[in-house]
Structure 1
Amino acid sequence: MHIAIDPKDFRVTGEGKFKLKKHDTKIEDLYKDKRNYRDMLDECKEGINELQRMMYAHDRYSLLLVFQAMDAAGKDGTIRHIMSGVNVHGISVHAFKQPSAEELDHDFLWRTNKALPQRGRIGIFNRSYYEEVLVVKVHPEIILKSQKLPAECTRDLDKFWEHRYESIRDKERQLWRSGTRVIKFFLNLSRDEQRDRFIARIDEPEKNWKFSEGDVSERQHWDAYQKAYEEAINATAAKHAPWYVIPADDKRNMRLIVAQVVLEELKSLDMHYPEVSDARRAELQVYRKRLEND
């Protein structure tokens, strides 16, 4: 049982100009029904779990999954549904909210650097250092009010943004050189679907806690955010650190595609379980006999 679509259809690697409007927010269903969806997702999860165990034993690679999206696109649910089958010792999830005072007293990559995955593990960023060229770009007053940067750094904002893109590109290239593979997901939600999900958060009591007045005010900046995402993807997409622009209006489709991307990336790594020498095998047999006689 395999997903009948190639994840490469959603990959952006910086070859050619990326236009967000050309990418659909909804595609035809990849599953026949709810049961078929669960079976397909479970198959991907089993494969991810098996390969993560091998990655842990191999201890040469790590995988960083970056999730970015507009509010209500389903980042939390996607992470939860896809990674629920992976050994908890093999993954780490970090959700990055508004920076603390300590974080603001460091460079913009500092707080995420601390959370990078160890070799053998999958690290997941729910939002990331990309907030610094998304939210901050839509609200540049943040730079002047709270980031406490020298005046010469912010005098020319065009250069300021390019310098941040450059820092991100350098960071992701350095991670690749160190064995960390970086996969970035933009969950591409339509404005109408976001509205419907916000209304559902109001209408359904069990979802009331998810609703924030700030979500509605940020929605007024929709076009500015779309432009910021397009610019960020164009500036940072690369073969070694691709973006995947995932249709997000249907959550099941979105999860299946993300799961398949993660599975294919793990499959692409040159991994194996540590080899055991003949001498070691002989030692193991000695211990086996001791255990049998215990």
Structure 2
Amino acid sequence: MTRLSSWRIAHGHSLALSSFDPSAKPFSQGDKATDKARIAELSEQIGAVQERLYATRQRSLLIVLQGMDTSGKDGTVRSVFSGINPQGVRVVSFKAPTQEEREHDFLWRVHRHVPAAGEIAIFNRSHYEDVLITRVKGWIDDAEAERRLAHIRHFEQLLADRGTAILKCFLHISKDEQKARLEERLADPAKHWKFDPADLVERKAWDDYQCVYAEALSATSEAHAPWYVVPANSKTHRNLMVAELVLEALQGMKLEPPQANPALAGMKVA
């Protein structure tokens, strides 16, 4: 899809996220109501292909959602996957590692959560946290970051070789939009549960995060595991574009319908 190609990250190329407009709406059909109707249509189509994926149990799909705080990872999951049978979908969120997890390699806790055959797994934050916040905080040096990025590339190649399609989305918002969303949470007591004072600390390192994100996306966007920048200042457009990406990834598997069982031919139900 040509509209998607311009938002796909090229491997190894110097990348500045500032060159992508977070307010852009390349997939919008002109108004919010129409776009929401299109999202509902896409969600239904995704559900139909997902049913075939689940029935055949030959392939799987891993979706990685990353982005700055308030970029809308949770909202994306709720909107895009509303029409999917929950039996074939799992959402996993990787937070600060536990003591046990720190005693293993950084991918140890991730590998057991990848999708099984026939399944879609959505990583709401992911193994990329170990090359993002760790660099901004200075917990790892550049040499360790390079090693981890290489391990991630090999890990994702392993998954692809096993039949897992991989789709990675960076939900791209502006600093001003993040400010507005944080202020909205503070202003509404019903949304205070969403507000974490630590977000204000991380916000001070905005420029540093933009740099490490750019380096990680460029270093790990491969043909079998592409990164897409998703303009996310508009929540509706964000959901629309991710839905388009997910449907394309599923259709790209070219899944055949499950084969009929000859033993059932002519069988009658009394």
Instruction: Report TM bin, short chain.
Output: over 0.9
> Is the 1:73–1:194 contact (alpha carbons within 8 Å) kept by the matching residues of 2?
yes
> 1:1-294 to 2 correspondence within 5 Å?
6-14=3-11, 16-28=13-25, 30-141=28-139, 157-276=141-260, 280=262, 283-288=263-268, 291=269, 294=270
How far 1:95 moved relative to its partner? 1.0
**TM-aligned CA deviation for residue 5 of structure 1:** 7.4
CA distance in 2, matches of 1:94, 1:186: 16
Whole-Å separation in 1 of the counterparts to 2:102 and 2:13: 35
Distance 1:15 1:108, change over 3 A: closer
Output the TM-score relative to the length of structure 2.
0.95
Equivalent residue of 2:155, what SS? helix
Alpha-carbon separation, structure 2, partners of 1:35 and 1:253: 11
| Alpha-carbon offset, residue 273 of structure 1 | 1.7
Take 1:274 and 1:51, find their aligned partners in 2: how far apart are those partners? 12
Separation of aligned partners in 1, 2:216 and 2:4: 21
| Letter of the structure 1 residue corresponding to residue 55 of structure 2 | A
* Equivalent residue letter for 1:169: R
Give the paired residue count.
Answer: 269
1:205-239 deviation line (CA, Å, top 9, x unaligned): 21111111100111000010000001101111111
- Structure 1 residue 136 displacement after superposition: 0.5
Contact 1:13 1:239 in 2 (8 A): no
Give the distance between the partners of 1:174 and 1:67, measured in 2 at CA.
20
The CA distance in 2 between the partners of 1:170 and 1:237, in whole Å, is: 12
Distance 2:45 2:158 in 1: 28
Deviations 1:60-99 (A, max 9, x none): 1100000111000100000111111100111000011111
Larger CA deviation: 4-13 vs 118-127: 4-13
In structure 1, stretches of 5+ residues that fail to align are 144-156
User: One-letter code of the match for 2:86?
Assistant: V
Q: What is the rounded CA distance, in whole Å, between the counterparts of 1:48 and 1:13 in structure 2?
A: 26
Question: % of aligned pairs identical?
Answer: 40
Distance in structure 1 (CA, Å) of the matches to 2:33 and 2:172: 25
Question: Match for 2:52: what amino acid?
Answer: M
Structure whose residues are more often helix by fraction: 1
Residue pair 1:13, 1:241 contacting (<8 A) in 2 also: no
Matched-pair contact (CA < 8 Å) for 1:201–1:207: yes
- In 2, the alpha carbon distance for the partners of 1:255 and 1:28 equals 11
Give TM-score, length-normalised by structure 1.
Answer: 0.88
Instruction: Tell me how large the CA RMSD over aligned residues is.
Output: 1.6
CA distance in 1, matches of 2:258, 2:210: 46
CA distance in 2, matches of 1:6, 1:76: 24
The 2-side partners of 1:5 and 1:268 are apart by 15
Alpha-carbon contact 2:12-2:219 (below 8 Å) kept: no
SS in structure 1 at match of 2:100:
helix
What residue is the counterpart of 1:154 in the other structure? none
Greater displacement, 182-191 / 28-37:
28-37
2:259 counterpart letter in structure 1: E
1:21 alignment partner, SS class: helix
Alignment partners' CA distance in 2, 1:274 and 1:83: 23
Give the AA of the match of 2:213.
Y
Instruction: Give a deviation string over 1:139-186, Cα, whole Å, max 9, x none.
Output: 123x5xxxxxxxxxxxxx222111001000000111111001111111
